[in-house]
Amino acid sequence: MAVENITMPQLGESVTEGTINSWLVKVGDHVEKYEPIADIMTDKVTAEVPSSFSGTISELLAEEGDTIAVGDVMCKIEVEQMEQVEATDDEINEEPPLLTTNRNDDDTSMKKRYSPAVLRLAQEHAIDLTIISGSGRGGRITRKDVERFIERGHTGEVNQEAVTEQTPSPVYERMAHDIEIPVKGVRKVIADHIVKSKTEIPHAWMTVEVDVTNLVNYRNKIKQSFKKNEGFNISYFSFFINAVTQALKEYPQLNSTWAGDKIIQRKDINISIAVAKEEELFVPVIKQADEKNIKAIARSVNDLATRARTGQLTNEDMQDGTFTVNNTGTFGSISSMGIINHPQGAILQVESIVKRPVVINNMIAIRDMVNLSLSLDHRILDGLVCGRFMARVKEILEQTSEETANVY
């Protein structure tokens, strides 16, 4: 004797359950195979369900009116002899092997396979990935591992072994015909300053694209007369410094310095500008730039650049900068990542103005476009405030036109 289950059949293609209208058998009844045992109603059909076995009904698992899911047991039946049960698909189908590989904590084969997301985060936050331990398969460092590491302010999950391990300075041998240039003077100062900035400040970057067509038209229009009247050039750069200065007034967070346990927000807006001279790089400062109009800024730029090139800058000229605007566009660059002028909070690169096809109102127009790239000290600043600052600079520049601007 064996007990078999009779399950709710699927009566109709979309049917997932059936309701027992009435039982046609009761416990103890003997039924032949294919004899009806219940009247079942579904959304699609009403039908009598036959028994799949010959035997005696031993248990009814549902009341009349109950709704049972397709495949669930309706009743049990004691069969006289073992039926030659056809193999069910469960028996045919072996469980497929688990796709997941077994975790092996010793496996570190993936430790140095970095995903694009991990590399980007590491770069943005100047993180040395060798000091993070990975929680992914094969010891892989996951994006979440890096995000957690950043959240904990660089202090968590440090792999001591990796930290204490001293990476020896590489030794580079001079090959025949190579030239050796000793590093000293201004080059050495620049190098030290940049290394300090790059290792100390966790840099993050952001670039916006600005349509300066109107500004270009305006400046081209007044270029000749301005030069004639004032005796010096009115450069695009002055308009950019003016816009940055105005925006800094509204977002003073960018005019700040990291001071270990505090952030110092500067009252004065002193704009450092980079002036290159062959092997040297000077960064003189336009003091209280926010109190100057475009003409005055243009005069300062002109004056400082001339003195830099003729070696007449004083120490004082190069002190007290609070924010740097760098005219990388002069070199034809259209995208660059500036290194912050330590100990300032940010630097803005003004790239080349180029004519590009731009979609306006679903039509293609030729516009004068410029990229502005901001590098920021991520300890002081976040994406949100920088985004707003950049949007403001963009807005000021895009609104600059003959109708709205006045260089005087």
Binding site for other proteins (CB under 8 A): 10, 13-17, 43-44, 89, 92-93, 98-100, 103, 115-120, 136-137, 140, 142-144, 362-364
User: Is residue 154 flagged as an active site residue?
Assistant: no
Query: Which member of 145, 203, 377, 378 is catalytic?
Result: 378
Query: Catalytic: 368?
Result: no
Instruction: Considering the complex, state which of residue 24 and residue 70 has its C-beta at the smaller distance from other proteins.
Output: 70
How far, in Å, CA of 111 to CA of 132, rounded? 10
Output the smallest distance, CB 139 to other proteins, in A. Answer: 12
Specify the residue, 17 or 83, whose C-beta has the smaller distance to other proteins.
Answer: 17
Task: Give min distance, CB of 115 to other proteins, in A.
Answer: 4
| Minimum distance from residue 365 beta carbon to other proteins (Å) | 11
Quick one: 101 or 155, whose CB is closer to other proteins? Answer: 101
Candidates 298, 304, 227, 228; CA nearest to 273 is: 304
**What is d(CA 159, CA 162) in angstroms, rounded to the nearest whole number?**
5
Q: Which residues of 171-200 are buried (b: 16+ CB within 10 A; e: fewer)?
A: eeeeeeeeeeeeeeeeeeebeeeeeebeee
Nearest to 391 by CA among 285, 187, 250: 250
Whether the CB-CB separation of 338 and 349 falls below 8 Å is answered with: yes
Count H helices, E strands: the chain?
9, 18
- Nearer to other proteins among residue 108 and residue 319 (C-beta): 108
Residue placing its CB nearer to other proteins in the complex, 21 or 54: 21
**Minimum CB–partner distance for residue 108 and other proteins (Å):** 15
Nearest to 24 by CA among 75, 88, 71: 75
CB contact set of 91 (below 8 Å; sequence gap of 6+) = none
Q: Which of 43, 128, 268, 382 is catalytic?
A: 382
Handedness of CA 83, 84, 87, 91 (dihedral sign): positive
What amino acid positions are annotated as catalytic residues? 378, 382
